[in-house]
Structure 1
Amino acid sequence: MATSDAVGRTADLARALRSTLRGEVRFGAAERAVYSQDASNYRQVPRGVVKPADADDVRAAVALCREYGVPVVPRGAGTSIGGQATGPGAVVLDFRRHLNRVLAVDPGTRTARVEPGAVLDDLQAAARPYGLRFGPDPSTHSRCTLGGMIGNNACGAHSVAWGRTSDHLHSLDLLLADGTELTVGGPLTPAGRDRLAARTGRAGELHRALQALAADHLALLRRAMPALPRRGSGYALDALLPEHGHDLARALAGSEGSCAVLLGATVGLVDAPAARALVVAGYPDEAAAADALPDLLPLGPLTAEGMAADLLAALAAAGRRPAVLDRLPDGACWLFLETGGADTAEAADRARTLAAAVRRTPRATVTVLDDPGEQRRLWAVREAAAGIVTRLPDPAVPGGVPAWPGWEDSAVPVERLGDYLRALRGLLARHGLRGVPFGHFGEGCVHLRLDFPLAERPWVFREFMEEAADLAVAHGGSLSGEHGDGQARSELLSRMYPPEVLALFGRFKRIWDPENLLNPGVLVDPRPLDADLRVAGRFRALPLALPYERDGGSLLNAVHRCVGVAKCVDTASGVMCPSYMATGEERHSTRGRARLLAEMLRGELVTDGWRSAEVREALDLCLGCKGCASECPVQVDLATYKAEFLHQHYRWRPRPRSHLALGWLPLWLRGAALAPGLFNVLARHRGAAAVLRRAAGIDRRRSLPALPPETFGRWFRRYRAAHPEPVGATPVLLWPDSMADLLDPAPARAAVLALERLGFAVRLPAGRVCCGLTLVSTGQLSLARWVMRRSLARLPPDLPVVGLEPSCTATLREEWPRLIGEHRLPARVRTFAELLDDHGVDLPRLGDTALTQVHCHQHAVLGTDADRRVAERLGLANTVLDSGCCGLAGSFGMERGHYEVSVAAAERVLLPAVRAAAPDTLLLADGLSCRTQINDLAPGHRPLHLAEVVLRALGIN
C-alpha cells in the first residue's frame, strides 16, 4: 500500500509541476535512466527531472518539491566525479538546458553576471574581447557550468596563478528550500555583519545563526581546518572567521548543492596573458617531478601540471598517439610549466628562466614550446586525461580494463607531495591496484583512477579508500582537492576532521536547509561510499549478434565504457554528437544512449529488453556517424550498439518501411537502373513521387534522386573495350560501391581516368559487390553477412582495393572483420587519397581555393592525413570544416521523422560555410551523403569528389 501511495504522490507531483512550470518536466523511465548517473561510480535513480525555463520555474519547482517532501538536486553538466549530481528519489533540476546565459560582462569592474547553467567556455568567449578571462579552468571547460563549478569549488590547471572558484565569487543569488531568497558574497566588515544580523525574517535568522556558529567555535575552526590551497573536503567553515570577513559566498563554494539553490552569480575576471610559452620538464618519475616543485613555484608559472608516462601508454593503447608527443623531453613524468607575458618576448624570457631552473635538478630534461599550435595540442592531451585513463592498458584484455574514480582527487601540501606519491604507490601495490597519477602537482593535487574490482570484489574499494584517506591525512592533506566529496568521500570525512567539526558541518547544513531537502546524503549524514555502485547488481544476459571484441564479447562492458566525462555534450566541436547538438536532449547524447542501454540490460527501469520503446526512441535519432567511436575518450561506439539493437528489436517482427526501402536500396536501384528514364519521369511527377516517398518511408520534403542514363559498370566496360589495360601499370581494384555504380557515377569515372593517367591499371571485381552498409545501419545483420561473404568471394586475393565512398570504405575496414571475420582485406583497403599518397605520385598544382566537408565515417575510421597531403600537393588553399556529420548520414536524413534534425546538423557549420563561399571555391565532399545534402539544401553549389578535382588538375575533361 505504501508503494502505491508513493507512486500516486509522484504522479501528483509530476502533474503539479507540469501545470505550473514553463520548462520541461520529465518523470518517464528514459529520463530517469539517463539522469541516474553523473561521472562517478554511482547509480541513483531520481524521481524525475525538471529543466526549468527561468528562475520562476526554479522557485515553483522547489516550492512544490517541498510541499510533497521530495528532495531536490541541482545539476549542471553532470560531470561530478564524487556522485553529487543525482540522488535517489530526488527531483533533479537541470540548469544547463535553459538557464545557461552569460548575462553581462563589465570590463570596468572586471566582473560577469552568469546564470547557473552558463558553460565556462561561453564565459571565456564573452570575456575574451576585453582581454579578460575567468581564472579557474577545469579540463571539462567546454561543458562544465558555473553553477557546478561553484558547487564543487572547481580549480583547473591555472590554479597556481588564479586560485579556485571561491577566489572569484563576488555574489551569489540564492534560493533556499523554504522559498527564502537572498544574495550573499564578499568579505564583511563588523558593521556589515551587524546589518545582516539585524534583518528581520528568515534571512536575519540565518545570518544570526551563522555568525553564532563561528563566534562559538573560533579556536576550533582556526585549529581544525587544514590550511591547504586545495582543501576541497567538507564545508569551508573557516570562511566564517572574522579574519576572513565572514564570507558566505566562499563558505558555500564546494557545498555541492546541499545548502541552497543557485539562481545566479557575479564572478570576478582576471587579465588574460597576451602571449604564453610552455616549459615541459622531464623527470624519472612523478615523485621526482613533485620534489622539484618547491624550487620552481617561486618563479611564478601559470601552471604546474604533472603527467606521467602511464598516461601516454593508456593513450597509445587506445590507438591515438598525437605527433606532438615527440616534443616531450626524455623522462617518465613531465611537468607542464606555462608562462605568460604582455608579448611573446616576455613570455619566452620567463620560460627561459624556468627552463634554467629545471636544468639545475639532476636527471631533469627540458623543452620550451613557443608555438601556440604545439602548445594547444599538448594541452589537449592533458585535458583528455580524465577520459583516457578510464581504460588502463592490459595485454591480456583487448580494449583494456576499466579504471574508476573514488580516490581521484586527493591533495597534500606541495612540499610533501613527493613523499605522498611514493607512499601512494606502495599502497596501490599492497592492494594489487593500478592507476595513472596526473594532475595539479603545483598545488599538491593528484588525479588517480584505479582498476577497482567493483563488480567482483567491492570490499577492495572500501578497504583502499579508508587506508588512502588515512594516508592523505597523515601527510597533512585533504580527501578531495577540487571535485568535492559526494558519496565517494563524505563518509570518510571523520578520518580528516574531529567529531566537533563534523557536528559543525551538520549545524551549518541545518541552518540553511533544516528539512534536509537539498541533495541529502552528501557531506552530512552521508550514504555509504560502497552503496549504489552502478556496476553492482544483476544484469540480463541478452543474446548478441556482434562480437564486441574490445569488450570481452559483452555489450554490458561496452556501454559501461561510458563514465560520464561528457565530451559528447560539448557543442564547440562539430563531430560529436549531431543529434544532441540539434535537440539538446540528454537522452540523445552519446552518454544518455549508453546509459539507457545499460538500464535495458539491468532490467529495472527499462523492463522490455530488446523490445524497449525508450531505447528505440533514443537510438532513432542516432545518425550512425561514428563520431563517438573516435571522439569519445573511451570510444563508446553508438553506431555499433544501434545496429545490434535494431537487429534484435525487429527480429521476427515487421520492420519500418524505410528499413526495407533504404536498407535494401542497392537492390531497388539495380532494378530501377534497368529503366532509368522511366524512374526519373516518375520521380519528377508530383503524385508519383509522393507515392514513392510514402511507400519508402521518405520525408515528403526530400527530393528523389535522378538516376544516370548509364551505370558506372556499363561505362567501364565501354571504356575498357576502347582503352585496353595499360601494360606495365600498377594494378589496383576499384571498389564500385552501389551508389557510385547506380546513383552518381561521376566520381568513379573520374577515378578511373585519373588513376590510369597517373600510372595505375584499374580493375573491377568479378561480379557485383556491395559492402553491406545500408543493411548494417538498419540492423539487418544476418542479411549483411550474406552480402559481405558473397562480395568477398568476388575479390582477388592480392590487389589493393581502392574505395571512393568513405562510408563503404570504412565498412570494408571495420565491419567486415567484425561481422564475417575477414581480417586480411582491411590492410589492402585504401582511400583514393591514400593510394596517391602511398605511391607519392606527382600532381599538377591547381592553386585554387577549396572548402572541404569531411565525411563522418572518414573522420572516425579512415583518417584524413592523406587527403591533407594530397590537397597540399595540388596547391589548394583548403579549409577543412569542423562540421562533423552533414546530417544526411546515408538513409537517416531521408527518413520521415528525421528531417528537422538532419537540417539542423547541416545548418550548424556546413551550409552557412557553403553559402558564404566564393563562386570559384572548390567544394570537396567525398561522401555521397554530403554531396546530396549540399545539393538538396544549398542548390547552385556543386560539390566534387577528390577524384574529380585530381582529374581537373590533370586537364582531362
Structure 2
Amino acid sequence: MSRSDTAPGAVLARELAAVLRGEVRFGAAERTVYSQDASNYRHLPLGVVKPADQDDVRTALALCRQYGVPVVARGAGTSISGQAIGPGAVVLDFRRHLGAVLAVDPERRTARVEPGTVLDDLQRAAHPYGLRFGPDPSTHSRCTLGGMIGNDSCGAHSVAWGRTADNVESLDLLLADGTELTVGGPLDPAERATLAALPGRVGQLHHRLQEFTEQNLAVIRRGMPELPRRVSGYPLDALLPERGHHLARALTGTEGTCALLLGATVRLVEDPPARALVVAGYPDETAAADAVPALLPLGPLTVEGMAADLIAALLAAGPRPPALDRLPDGACWLFLETGGATPAEALDAARRLAEAVRRERVATAAVVTDPAEQRQLWGVREAGAGTVTRLPGGGEAWPGWEDSAVPPERLGDYLRALRALLRRHDLHGVPYGHFGEGCVHLRIDFPLAAPHGVPVFREFMEQAADLVVSYGGSLSGEHGDGQARAELLPRMYPPEIIAAFREFKRIWDPENLLSPGTLVDPRPLDADLRFTGPVRELPLALPLALPLALPYEQDDGSLAKAVRRCVGVAKCVDPTTGVMCPSYMVTGEERHSTRGRARLLAEMLRGAAAPPGHPGGAAITDGWRSAEVREALDLCLGCKGCASDCPVHVDMATYRSEFLHQHYRHRPRPAAHYAMGRLPLWLRGAALAPGLVNTLARSPAAGVLKRLGGIDPRRVLPVLPPETFTRWYRRHRAEHPAPAGARPVLLWPDTFANHLQPEVLRAAVEVLDHLGFDARLPAGPVCCGLTWYSTGQLGGARRVMRRSLAALAATGLPADTPVVGMDPSCTATLREEVPRLLGAEGRPLAERTRTFAEFVDEYAPDAPLPQLPVDAVTQTHCHQHAVLGSAADRRVERRMGVDNRVLDSGCCGLAGNFGFERGHFEISVAIAERVLLPEVRAAGPDTVILADGFSCRTQIAQLADGRRALHLAELMRRALRAEAAEGAGE
C-alpha cells in the first residue's frame, strides 16, 4: 500500500482521480515540493491537482467544498510572503495545462490569458504588434499572470506603466460556491444597477458589494493611504465612485482569498522600439534615493536602485560579470531607462536624464546604448532576488521585511531610519529596489535557525512595520502580505478598515474555503517557519548516524545549510533557456526541478530527525532510505547547471552524489552503478581484446550485456578502437620525439578519449607539438573518478583520484607543469571534485589544470594559429558551462577565423551514464530534441559541429542522423593539415 493510500484525504484523492482529466498527486513527494514557496514558511498541503482545463477546476473545487478542504491557487509558486502554500489544502497548479495566451487584440491593445500564462509568453505574443504587458517582475521568465494578479505585481517599469491592477481590464472568476462571473470596470451607475438586478447569486453578490461600498465610503477614503506602491491589504479604494467602482482592480492583489481566476483580459502598452539606459552613480543609497524626486518629471521608464553591497554579494557568489565595468563611480546606482521610436530619440531622452544627474555635484552618469550591454546590466539587477540571499560575508539572509514602500520623496529618510533599525538589532541586509516608487527589497540575516532567532524576527518585524507606517508607507510594495505581514496590517490600517477587509472576504467566500489564514484572520508571522522544527544534520535512518561524505565547504560543512540555499526564486522552472534544469524542461514536473529536489532533501532531513508523532513531523520520515528522494534524483543528470545558473548556486549534482553514497551504503546498487559507474575498469580490461569485445557488442549477446549492465536496449554500445591512445602515444613518441627545449605539458588521457575516441588526444598531441610544447603523459593509468563520483561511490572515487595523483607525481616534472584536460567533464572534476574529496591534497592539481582552449589561450597567446574560415555551431558541455567557462574557446576560435555560433541548447541529454541507463532513454532523447538535435540537423553540410564533451559527441552521433561533432583540437588539427597541404601544393 502506498503512502498516498494511507494519508489523510485518500478518499478525496480517489474521487478527484476518478473524475479529473488532469493530474491528482497526493503522495509524499508532491506534497513536499508544494509545501514551500519563496517565503520563510512551510505548510504541507493535503494534495496537489494540476487541472487539465477549466472543467477540472470546477470539479476539483466542488469536491473540495463537499469535503470542507481549503483550496490554494498556485502559479510558479515564487511568492515571497507565503501566499502560495496552505496547511491541509489542495493546491491547484495552473502552470501545467492552463497557461495559454488565448488572443491578442492589437486594435484594443488587450490580451486574453489563462491563469497559468507565463509573463514572457505573453510578451512574446504581444511583441509582433509592438506591444507588451507593462508590469515586469524580475521573475518574468516564470511568473504567471494568475500569480501577478493575485499579488498585484509591479516590476521595474511600473513607474511608467503601473502595477498589474492598473493593467487589468476584466477577470473571469470561479467562486468557492461554484458561481462563475466576469468582473471589470469602470462601471457607471446604470451598469451597476443592471448588475445588482441580475438573478441568483451573481446579482446578490453585486448588490451586496454596492451596499458594502456605500456603507464604508468614508472609512475607505480616510483609511487607505495614497502612494504608488500600496500593495498591503485589500484594495478597497478601487470600489470608490471616483475610481470607477472597478471590481477587477478591487480583486487584483487579494492573494487568492476571494475567488479562483479562470482567465483575464489585460491591457497592453506600446513597447518602445528603442531603449537607452542611464546608469547614475551616487556616494550611497540615501543620496540616490534623495535624487529620485527631481528625476521623475523627466519621464524615465525605470528608476531602479542598486547599492555596492549587492555588487559585493554578487562577487562573493561567483565570477565578476563584465557588465560591472560599465558602472560609473559611486557606491549606489540608479538604472534610468528611456524609450523612443528611434535610437536617436531614446538617446536624446537619456542625455537629458544624464545631464540632470550630473547637476548633482556628487553624482556621475554613464549612458549605455548597446542592447547587449543593457541586457547584461539588467541581468545583474534581476539576479538580486537570489544574490542577496547570501550576504557578502557568507551569512544567510531571509525575506519577511522584503518589499516595504514609502512615498518616493520620503525614501531617503526611510532608508536612513531602516538602516538604524537594523543596527539596533545587530541585523544586516542589502537594500535595493524600485526607488522611483519608493519600494525597497531587503533580505535580512534573521537568526531563524538559532534558539533566540524567532523572538528577534518578531520584534524586528513589528518595529519595522511601525517605522514604515510612520513614513506614510505600506508593509508591502509588491509581493503582498501573506503570512509574513498580514498579522501586521492593524499597525497600518485602523480597526474599521480591518473589519472591512473581513467583510469583503465574507462577501466573496463566506465559507472561508479559499486560502484561509491569508490576509483575513491571519496565521502568526512567526509560526510555521521552515527553519524551525526537528532538523538534524545526520539523519538516523540507519542504526548508526552516518557522517557526511562531502565537505560543503561553502556551507560550513552542513548539508542542511547547503539545501537551504534554495529560497524558491524558481529560475529552475524557466524552461526556455540555459542549462538548468534539463529534466524539468522536458517533464514539467516540480519534483524534477532543482527547487523540488531541494525541498525533498530538506524534508528528508526534517523527517529523519522528528520523533514519532512530533507536531512538526514531515512527509518523508525514512532519511537516506527515502524512495521519494531517490526517485526525484534519479532524473537529475548531474549536469551542474544549477551550480552556475541558480542565483544562489544550489549544486544538486553534489547533493545527489551524497545521497546516493548514503542511500546505497552497505546495500546492493542498481546494475548501472556497477557497469557504468565503474566503466573505466571494464574499458581497461576490454582494451586487451577490443576486436572480441566489438564482436560481442554487435552480436545477439549485446542485449544480454545491456540488460545485465542496466543499459537501455535502444542505446548503441560504442566501438572500441584497435589501439588505445596511450599505446599510440608510446609508439608515436618513439618515432617523433618532441623538439629539444620544448616546454613540457601534461596531457590528461581521460578514460573515454583514451579507450573510445583516441583521435581527440592524438589531435591534441599534434597541435601541441606544432605550438612548440612537449606533450607528456602521466607515469601510469589515470582517471578523474567522475563515474564513481556521479553514482555516489565516493570511497571508490577517492581511491581512484589518489592513484591518479601518484601517477602524476611519478613523472618527475616540476609541480607547476600545466595539466591539459580534453574532456570538460573530466577537467571540471579535476578542478572541483578532486579538491572537494581530497582537500589540500587535491588543490595543486586543480590549480594547474586547464582545458585545451584555456591552455592555448594562456600559454600560446601570440602563436600564429592555423586559419580555417568555416562556419561552426557549438554544443557547450554542461560542466564547461557550470565550472570551467568557455571564453577561452571563443577567443581561440576567433584567432582561427572560425565563424562560430554557440547553441542555447542546454544539456545534450546523455550526461555520461544517465542517457545510457535503462529508464532514461525517453528523457534523454527529449532533452536533446528540445534544441540540440533540430539545430544540428538544420546545419548546412559544410557547417562544423563543435562539441568538446564525449557525451555530447556521442549523443549527436547516435541521434542526429549521421552528423559527427568534432573537438576543438580536431578542428585545429584539420586546419594545420589543410595549411600543410596547401603549402606542399605551392
Same fold (TM over 0.5): yes
Amino acid aligned to 2:507? I
Q: Residues of 2 paired with 1:305 and 1:540: CA distance? A: 41
2:531 to 530, 535, 540: 535
Q: Residues of 2 paired with 1:824 and 1:434: CA distance? A: 36
Q: Is residue 2:119 matched to residue 1:120? A: yes
Residue 7 of structure 1: CA displacement?
6.7
Q: Is residue 2:496 matched to residue 1:497? A: no
Q: Residues of 1 paired with 2:233 and 2:817: CA distance? A: 66
1:730: which partner in 2? 743
1:922: which partner in 2? 944
Q: Residues of 2 paired with 1:11 and 1:770: CA distance? A: 51
Amino acid aligned to 2:676? L
Residue 571 of structure 1: CA displacement?
1.1
Residue 940 of structure 1: CA displacement?
2.0
1:647: which partner in 2? 661
Give yes or no for contact 2:537–2:559 (8 Å, CA) kept in 1.
no
2:429: which partner in 1? 435
2:844: which partner in 1? 824
Q: Is residue 2:601 matched to residue 1:607? A: no
Q: Is residue 2:865 matched to residue 1:843? A: yes
1:320: which partner in 2? 319
Give yes or no for contact 1:454–1:535 (8 Å, CA) kept in 2.
yes
Give yes or no for contact 2:101–2:112 (8 Å, CA) kept in 1.
yes
1:451: which partner in 2? 445
1:309: which partner in 2? 308
Give yes or no for contact 1:167–1:250 (8 Å, CA) kept in 2.
yes
Q: Residues of 1 paired with 2:920 and 2:414: CA distance? A: 54
Where 2:808 maps in the other structure, the secondary structure is: coil
Amino acid aligned to 1:590? T
TM-score of the two chains, using structure 2 as the length reference: 0.95
Residue 363 of structure 1: CA displacement?
0.4
1:660 to 674, 679, 692: 674
Alignment of 1:128-143 (within 5 A): 128-143=127-142
Residue 725 of structure 1: CA displacement?
2.3
1:228: which partner in 2? 227
Where 1:302 maps in the other structure, the secondary structure is: coil
Q: Residues of 2 paired with 1:574 and 1:401: CA distance? A: 28
Where 1:954 maps in the other structure, the secondary structure is: helix
1:808: which partner in 2? 826
Q: Residues of 2 paired with 1:45 and 1:630: CA distance? A: 30
Q: Is residue 2:473 matched to residue 1:477? A: yes
Give yes or no for contact 2:309–2:392 (8 Å, CA) kept in 1.
no
Amino acid aligned to 1:462? R
**Relative to structure 1, is the Cα distance of residues 6 and 246 closer, same or farther in structure 2, using a 3 angstrom cutoff?**
farther
1:49: which partner in 2? 48
Residue 605 of structure 1: CA displacement?
1.1
2:541: which partner in 1? none
Give yes or no for contact 1:732–1:761 (8 Å, CA) kept in 2.
yes
1:761: which partner in 2? 774
Where 1:795 maps in the other structure, the secondary structure is: helix
Aligned residues: 948
Alignment of 1:364-513 (within 5 A): 364-394=363-393, 400-456=394-450, 457-513=453-509
Alignment of 1:87-126 (within 5 A): 87-126=86-125
| Greater mean deviation of Cα atoms: 735-744 or 537-546 | 537-546
Alignment of 1:178-197 (within 5 A): 178-197=177-196
1:945 to 967, 973, 980: 967
Give yes or no for contact 1:169–1:186 (8 Å, CA) kept in 2.
no
Q: Residues of 2 paired with 1:238 and 1:925: CA distance? A: 59
Q: Is residue 2:745 matched to residue 1:741? A: no
1:832-868 Cα distance to aligned partner (Å, 9 max, x none): 0001000213212211000100000000001101001
Give yes or no for contact 1:46–1:88 (8 Å, CA) kept in 2.
yes
Give yes or no for contact 2:224–2:237 (8 Å, CA) kept in 1.
yes
Where 1:830 maps in the other structure, the secondary structure is: strand
* Unmatched segments (≥5 aa) in structure 1: 395-399
Where 1:392 maps in the other structure, the secondary structure is: coil
Q: Residues of 1 paired with 2:217 and 2:667: CA distance? A: 71
1:592 to 585, 593, 596: 596
Give yes or no for contact 2:109–2:268 (8 Å, CA) kept in 1.
yes
What is the root-mean-square deviation of aligned Cα atoms in Å?
A: 1.2
Amino acid aligned to 1:560? R
Q: Residues of 1 paired with 2:124 and 2:216: CA distance? A: 43
Q: Residues of 1 paired with 2:578 and 2:418: CA distance? A: 40
1:773 to 786, 805, 814: 786
Q: Residues of 1 paired with 2:212 and 2:458: CA distance? A: 33
Q: Residues of 1 paired with 2:537 and 2:901: CA distance? A: 48
Q: Residues of 1 paired with 2:90 and 2:722: CA distance? A: 61
Where 1:484 maps in the other structure, the secondary structure is: coil
Q: Residues of 2 paired with 1:29 and 1:773: CA distance? A: 32
Q: Residues of 2 paired with 1:450 and 1:914: CA distance? A: 47
Q: Residues of 1 paired with 2:727 and 2:856: CA distance? A: 26
1:846-892 Cα distance to aligned partner (Å, 9 max, x none): 11000100000000001101001001111111000111110000000
Amino acid aligned to 2:585? M
Residue 6 of structure 1: CA displacement?
13
1:175-223 Cα distance to aligned partner (Å, 9 max, x none): 0000000000121001111011111111111111111111011111111
Residue 9 of structure 1: CA displacement?
6.0
Q: Residues of 1 paired with 2:805 and 2:379: CA distance? A: 41
Give yes or no for contact 1:284–1:331 (8 Å, CA) kept in 2.
yes
Q: Residues of 1 paired with 2:266 and 2:558: CA distance? A: 46
1:742-777 Cα distance to aligned partner (Å, 9 max, x none): 111010000001100111001000000111000000
1:795: which partner in 2? 808
Residue 362 of structure 1: CA displacement?
2.0
Where 1:710 maps in the other structure, the secondary structure is: coil
Where 1:793 maps in the other structure, the secondary structure is: helix
Amino acid aligned to 2:314? L
Alignment of 1:670-749 (within 5 A): 670-685=684-699, 687-749=700-762
Residue 939 of structure 1: CA displacement?
3.1
2:904 to 882, 885, 895: 882
Q: Residues of 1 paired with 2:378 and 2:748: CA distance? A: 40
Where 1:209 maps in the other structure, the secondary structure is: helix
Where 2:744 maps in the other structure, the secondary structure is: strand
What percentage of aligned pairs have identical amino acids? 74
1:34: which partner in 2? 33
Where 1:669 maps in the other structure, the secondary structure is: helix
Q: Residues of 1 paired with 2:672 and 2:5: CA distance? A: 42
Q: Residues of 2 paired with 1:438 and 1:501: CA distance? A: 30
1:720-745 Cα distance to aligned partner (Å, 9 max, x none): 00011221111100000111111110
Q: Residues of 1 paired with 2:648 and 2:587: CA distance? A: 23
Residue 798 of structure 1: CA displacement?
2.9
TM-score of the two chains, using structure 1 as the length reference: 0.98
Amino acid aligned to 2:575? T
| Greater mean deviation of Cα atoms: 793-802 or 240-249 | 793-802
Give yes or no for contact 2:873–2:900 (8 Å, CA) kept in 1.
yes
2:927: which partner in 1? 905
Give yes or no for contact 2:725–2:754 (8 Å, CA) kept in 1.
yes
Q: Residues of 2 paired with 1:884 and 1:847: CA distance? A: 26
1:397: which partner in 2? none
Residue 672 of structure 1: CA displacement?
1.0
Q: Residues of 2 paired with 1:951 and 1:346: CA distance? A: 50
1:44-73 Cα distance to aligned partner (Å, 9 max, x none): 110000000000000000000000000000
* Unmatched segments (≥5 aa) in structure 2: 539-545, 608-617, 810-814, 982-986
Where 1:401 maps in the other structure, the secondary structure is: coil
Alignment of 1:179-328 (within 5 A): 179-328=178-327
Residue 5 of structure 1: CA displacement?
15
2:984: which partner in 1? none
2:520: which partner in 1? 524
Give yes or no for contact 1:9–1:68 (8 Å, CA) kept in 2.
no
Q: Residues of 2 paired with 1:150 and 1:93: CA distance? A: 16
